[in-house]
């Protein structure tokens, strides 16, 4: 097995060397493609982009968590007039690509007289499609709470609203915290579409840097690493939160 | 309704082609992604630490990178490294890399549901490690992951909208809507039709997945 490990390591190192050589042969290791990463202005610009990404993602997450609860309540109610439209809304928002919703806010709404800022053109579609997914995650949590809990609460004389908000939902949330945090990764990924509406998030700022320095490979590599780090941090947090539940 | 029928007269065939392209991109990247993901899963089972380390990195990178960042890197940055891939293969490559990382992740969870005694039993029957993986481990792991794989297929289908971000000769649904909205005032009905087609495709996949799940699931 040691032989296998050693040969695998050699093959992988050769592969890495091949990639490195490709960079060198294409002239991508030239100082002019990398030197601007030594300037603080570059990092403060990328940092502002990352901040734009995170403000949009945070707002979208807050809206999605709230609206998801509304959609869940609509979906669980016994009134058909409320339940069916709620189901239709959830299926519609969940089944449509976020990018398509962004295009609607960007291309279709302005001619119809509805003008949103670039921040909302990005944040609103991301919030809506996340809200529908969150509603389904909530529902999975609610269904996982043992039925006896609701029955016991009812027999104590609690109203339906009290049963839901004081007994069922708090327990449901504990089941689904890891899934909710994992959903945050998707929110961060979706905000990448900010450059479509020219909202100043990480990807948009990367495009500006590229226009200035003509350094496609280095800038996109650095941006990809930044996204991976942010999302990896969120995923790790969700795994840590997930552990004590099982 | 009148607007939708007028739109379908003007753009009906274009919507048919767009839907077909969306399906084609979905199927091709799913097949490639699943095969690649299975290869990664099997290689990760081998007791070769450097390989495991690199493949874990591979899974984490492609699980966490936003699809559009990967696509734009492949389409616009790779040519600077003298690697030129055409637009359609680039989209399929992007989606299959992302799909393979999630497949590898789910499949490993599926493998963890298999009781260790089965591996010991197979070993004591004198089966070789590769035979154990292909005849005992993988078939059961696949049966355990039908549900997450269905969700993955739906997510992948929705992600084909990324193709609208590169100058593709053919148009899939999202690119078509953006073109209709730019060219005419029919943006809203175009959006409604495209959304209906996406939702219908998603529901179809979900139904097929649920049917398959009922057939193959293993009750432990």
Picking from B46, B64, B199, the nearest residue to A92 by CB comes out as B199
Return the minimum-mean-pLDDT range out of A124-128, A205-209, A227-231, B8-12: B8-12
Q: How many CB atoms are located within 10 Å of the residue B75 CB? A: 21
For A196-225, what is the mean pLDDT?
Answer: 81
**Predicted local confidence at residue B101, as pLDDT:** 94
Rounded CA separation B199/A132 (Å) = 13
Query: Sorting pLDDT into bands at 50, 70 and 90, what band is A68?
Result: very high
**Residue B130 confidence (pLDDT):** 85
Q: For residues B15 and B161, what is the distance between their CA atoms, to the nearest angstrom?
A: 14
CA B150 to chain centre: 10
Interface of B with A in 86-145 (CB under 8 A): none
Q: How far apart are CA A143 and CA B175, in angstroms?
A: 38
For chain A, percent of residues with pLDDT exceeding 90: 17
Is residue B151 less than 8 Å (CB to CB) from chain A? Answer: no
**Residues in Cβ contact with A235 at an 8 Å cutoff, skipping those fewer than 6 apart:** A182, A185, B63, B64
Q: Which of residues B70 and A107 earns the better pLDDT score?
A: B70
Per-residue pLDDT, A246: 40
Give alpha helix (H) positions in chain A: 2-25, 31-34, 40-76, 80-95, 98-103, 118-144, 147-155, 160-162, 169-190, 202-213, 216-242
In angstroms, the CA A91 to CA A117 distance is: 27
Q: How many CB atoms lie within 10 A of CB A228?
A: 19
Domain map (residue ranges) of chain B = 2-216
Chain A nearest-CA residue for B176: A100
Helix pair B2-45, B87-112: axis angle to 10 deg: 60
DSSP state of A200: -
pLDDT band at A126; cut points 50, 70, 90: very high
> What is the dotted CATH code of the domain comprising B2-216?
1.10.3720.10
pLDDT tens digits, one per residue of A30-57: 777 677 777 777 788 788 888 888 888 8
A228 interfacial to chain B (CB closer than 8 Å): yes
Q: Residue A245 has what pLDDT?
A: 47
Asked if A193 is an interface residue toward chain B (Cβ–Cβ < 8 A), one would say: yes
Q: How many CB atoms lie within 10 A of CB A47?
A: 14
Nearest to A224 among B50, B54, B65 (CB): B65
Instruction: Work out the angle between the directed axes of helices A169-190 and A216-242 (0-180°, nearest 10).
Output: 170
Q: What's the rounded Cα separation, in Å, for the pair A103 and B139? A: 42
For residue A28, the chain B residues in CB contact (below 8 A) are: 80-81
Q: Provide, as residue numbers in chain B, all residues whose Cβ is less than 8 Å from the Cβ of A235.
A: 63-64
CA distances from A210 to A120, A224, B2 (A): 25, 14, 46
Average pLDDT over residues A205-220: 80
Distance set, CA B141 to CA A23, B135, B137 (Å): 40, 11, 6
Q: What is the pLDDT of residue A20?
A: 82
Domain extents in chain A: 52-245
The pLDDT score that the predictor gives to residue A243 is 58
- Least CA distance to B206: which residue of chain A? A95
* Average pLDDT taken over every residue of chain A: 84
Query: Given B66, B177, B194, which is nearest A227 (Cβ)?
Result: B66
Q: How far is B82 from chain A (nearest CA, A)?
A: 6
Return the CATH fold of A52-245. MetI-like fold (1.10.3720)
Q: Which of B7, B45, B66, B205 to mutate to test the interface with A (most CBs of A within 10 A)?
A: B66
Which residue numbers in chain B have pLDDT < 70?
1-4, 7, 9
Segment A190-199 shows an average pLDDT of: 84
Residue of chain B whose alpha carbon sits nearest to that of A107 = B181
């Amino acid at each position: 097995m040691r032989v296998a490990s050693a040969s695998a390591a050699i093959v992988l190192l050769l592969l890495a060397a091949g990639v490195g050589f490709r960079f060198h042969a294409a002239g991508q290791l030239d100082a002019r493609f990398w030197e601007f990463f030594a300037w603080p202005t570059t990092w403060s610009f990328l940092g502002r982009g990352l901040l734009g990404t995170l403000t949009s993602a945070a707002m979208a997450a807050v809206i999605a968590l709230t609206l998801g609860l509304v959609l869940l309540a609509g979906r669980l109610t016994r009134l058909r007039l409320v339940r069916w439209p709620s189901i239709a809304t959830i299926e519609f928002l969940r089944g449509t690509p976020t990018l398509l919703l962004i295009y609607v806010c960007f291309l279709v709404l302005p001619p119809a007289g509805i003008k949103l800022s670039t921040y909302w053109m990005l944040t609103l579609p991301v919030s809506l499609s996340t809200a529908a997914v969150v509603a389904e995650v909530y529902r999975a949590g609610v269904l996982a709470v043992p039925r006896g809990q609701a029955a016991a609460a009812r027999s104590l004389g609690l109203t339906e609203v009290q049963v839901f908000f004081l007994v069922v939902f708090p327990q449901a949330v504990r089941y689904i915290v890891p899934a909710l945090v994992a959903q945050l990764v998707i929110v961060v990924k979706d905000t990448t579409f900010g450059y479509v509406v020219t909202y100043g998030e990480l990807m948009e700022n990367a495009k500006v840097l590229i226009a200035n320095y003509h350094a496609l490979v280095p800038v996109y590599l650095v941006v990809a690493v930044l996204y991976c780090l942010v999302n990896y941090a969120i995923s790790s947090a969700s795994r840590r939160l997930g552990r004590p539940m099982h | 309704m009148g607007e939708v029928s007028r739109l379908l007269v003007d753009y009906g065939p274009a919507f048919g082609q767009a839907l077909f392209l969306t399906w084609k991109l979905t199927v091709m990247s799913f097949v490639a992604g699943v095969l690649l993901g299975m290869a990664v899963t099997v290689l990760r089972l081998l007791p070769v630490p450097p390989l495991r380390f690199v493949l874990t990195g591979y899974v984490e990178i492609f699980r966490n990178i936003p699809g559009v960042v990967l696509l734009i890197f492949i389409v616009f940055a790779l040519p600077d490294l003298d690697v030129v891939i055409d637009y359609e293969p680039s989209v399929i490559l992007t989606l299959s890399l992302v799909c393979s990382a999630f497949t590898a992740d789910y499949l490993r969870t599926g493998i963890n549901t298999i009781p260790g005694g089965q591996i010991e039993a197979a070993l004591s029957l004198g089966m070789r490690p590769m035979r154990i993986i292909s005849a005992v481990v993988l078939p059961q792991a696949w049966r355990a992951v039908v549900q997450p794989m269905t969700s993955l297929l739906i997510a992948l289908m929705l992600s084909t909208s990324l193709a609208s971000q590169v100058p593709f000769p053919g148009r899939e649904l999202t690119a078509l809507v953006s073109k209709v909205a730019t060219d005419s005032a029919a943006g809203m009905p175009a959006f409604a039709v495209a959304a209906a087609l996406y939702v219908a495709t998603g529901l179809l996949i979900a139904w097929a997945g649920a049917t398959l799940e009922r057939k193959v699931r293993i009750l432990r």
